[in-house]
Structure 1
Amino acid sequence: MFAEERKAKILEMINSGNSVRVSELSRLFNVSEATIRRDLIELEQAGCIVRTHGGAVSKTSTNFEPSFKEKQDKFLKEKEQIAKKAASLIEDGDTVTIDSGTTTQFISKYLNAKGVTVVTNSVNLADELSDREDVEVIVTGGLLRTKTKAMVGPVAEETLKKLKVDKLFLGANGISIKSGVTTPNIVEANTKRVMIEGAKEVFLLIDSSKFDEVNFSLICPVSKIDYIVTDKLPKDYEKYEYLGIKFILT
């Protein structure tokens, strides 16, 4: 079988709604796992699929959720610059909630404000801030999701409901005018909604690849966001501005 024919069959399998694994494809097509990985890389570069740890899924799957590790290295430069800009928005004495995520985790690296109280559901962020004597850290507790390193669920939400903060720095997997701010997991979406309810101002931190992406679970309508901190304006940015959302570019 020629490489193009093999890739076409792999794509057909994925688009039929199945996730695939490298080891299974290797056996099915009787080629090495290295060859299958190369096929999947080429399909991803062509915009046809999304590679996962050990396999691939359809790019159009709304409930696909990459792991923290899988997301960590993507758009790394953009994420760090977005977090740096977000950290500059935190002022001395602020109370802030910082959501768990591969972008928000960098805020601790650039946080220069003094006397700040940080509420977070991120185990990574809490650990990174634990040596800062000038920052008070409140950890929400809750169910720890190994996939995203976020603490979510009723315990986290009860903590968040008791606290009112000046600013929320929120993460998400997708945003669109029509479908709102979304993420793959229902429980995590609900915890994020509680964060929004307790904040005076909501800053959504997303790199430009997240615009027009739609995931399974709605966090909130776009109108609930006050600011979007990102690396590039979306093509329909005027529609966001019409809703009163301000863009902060890195």
Structure 2
Amino acid sequence: MFAEERQQKILDILNSKSSIKVMDIAELLNVSESTIRRDLQELEEKNLLMRTHGGAVGIYNRTNFEPSFVDKQDEKIDQKISIAEVASMMIEDGDTIILDSGTTTLEIAKRIRSRNITVITNSIDIASELSNKEGIEIIVTGGSLRSNTRAMVGHLTEAVIKNFRVDKAFVGANGISIEDGVTTPNFIEAQTKKTMINYASKVIIVADSTKFNNVSFSIICPIKAVSMIITSRDIEQNIIKEYSEVGVDIVTA
């Protein structure tokens, strides 16, 4: 196999998996790890990927990269709907919950069937969606609105959340890692998510499988602060096992 053909295969794999490991690609393409490292170096020099310890991530996966709400709205929509269906079934009559701003949590809001629940949210989209449903009390946090993610964040948002103790918090994330915890690109938004987590009895992260082994700029919480992760069914079984060993349940949708 020519180097150009091999490198194109590497990019194709990276586009579908978001991150790759040298040893896995070497085995898949039946070449030495040193050959793959040279390929990764050449691809990085062309600004087509970014090398990491033991592998590489897509160039769009730099720690401060943050896709907008609009960019994410239709991305992996089938997976988001499946995740939302599972999450919504975990909301019981009489629950108090936090719904973080995000495209997946918005899908949860659309599917809530429980009655007599209280929802605290920093999302104008979720508040609008729930305003037409009976049996739901909505508390909108207020705060500074980030146009990129349509999330209300900052000290005002956090001050409102601190007035409550909720049964469950459904929180989105850009990165999930056993070593680095749950992360997101923006520091201020990370602090708001952290406050949500601190005032919830049960913390449920909702994110598709591509978020695993990604690390963004700002830490939301260590992985042990998470009660459960609801993700897409294409996640690898070894990842489920690794998280189970540190006490975090992964539910696939």
CA distance in 1, matches of 2:81, 2:73: 11
1:143 aligned partner: 144
Listed one character per residue, the Cα deviations across residues 44-101 of structure 1 (whole Å, up to 9, x for unaligned) are xxxx469xxxxxx923411011110111121110011101110010000000000001
CA distance in 2, matches of 1:147, 1:71: 11
Query: Per the alignment, in what secondary structure is the counterpart of residue 113 of structure 1?
Result: coil
Aligned length: 202
1:241 aligned partner: 244
2:96 aligned partner: 95
Listed one character per residue, the Cα deviations across residues 127-175 of structure 1 (whole Å, up to 9, x for unaligned) are 0001122100000000000000100000000000111000000100110
Matched residue type, 2:243: Y
Alpha-carbon distance, 1:239 to partner: 2.1
CA distance in 1, matches of 2:133, 2:74: 26
Matched residue type, 1:75: K
1:212 aligned partner: 213
CA distance in 2, matches of 1:244, 1:178: 14
Listed one character per residue, the Cα deviations across residues 7-50 of structure 1 (whole Å, up to 9, x for unaligned) are x9xx9xxxxxxxxxxxxxxxxxxxxxxxxxxxxxxx9xxxx469
Moved more, 239-248 or 87-96: 239-248
CA distance in 2, matches of 1:88, 1:192: 22
Matched residue type, 2:206: L
Can you give the 5+ residue segments of structure 1 that lack an aligned partner in the other structure?
12-42, 51-56
Identity rate of aligned residues, in percent?
Answer: 47
Listed one character per residue, the Cα deviations across residues 179-208 of structure 1 (whole Å, up to 9, x for unaligned) are 110000000000000000100000100101
Query: Per the alignment, in what secondary structure is the counterpart of residue 236 of structure 1?
Result: helix
Listed one character per residue, the Cα deviations across residues 200-231 of structure 1 (whole Å, up to 9, x for unaligned) are 00010010111111100000110000001111
Matched residue type, 2:195: V
1:194 aligned partner: 195
CA distance in 1, matches of 2:102, 2:208: 12
Can you give the 5+ residue segments of structure 2 that lack an aligned partner in the other structure?
12-42, 51-57
Normalised by the size of structure 2, how large is the TM-score? 0.76
CA distance in 2, matches of 1:184, 1:117: 29
CA distance in 2, matches of 1:66, 1:108: 21
Normalised by the size of structure 1, how large is the TM-score? 0.76
Query: Per the alignment, in what secondary structure is the counterpart of residue 103 of structure 1?
Result: helix
Q: CA RMSD in A?
A: 2.2
Alpha-carbon distance, 1:107 to partner: 1.0
Matched residue type, 1:86: A
2:181 aligned partner: 180
Matched residue type, 1:99: D
Counterparts of residues 34-49 of structure 1 (less than 5 Å): 48=48
Moved more, 112-121 or 239-248: 239-248
Counterparts of residues 1-150 of structure 1 (less than 5 Å): 48=48, 58-150=59-151
CA distance in 2, matches of 1:109, 1:126: 11
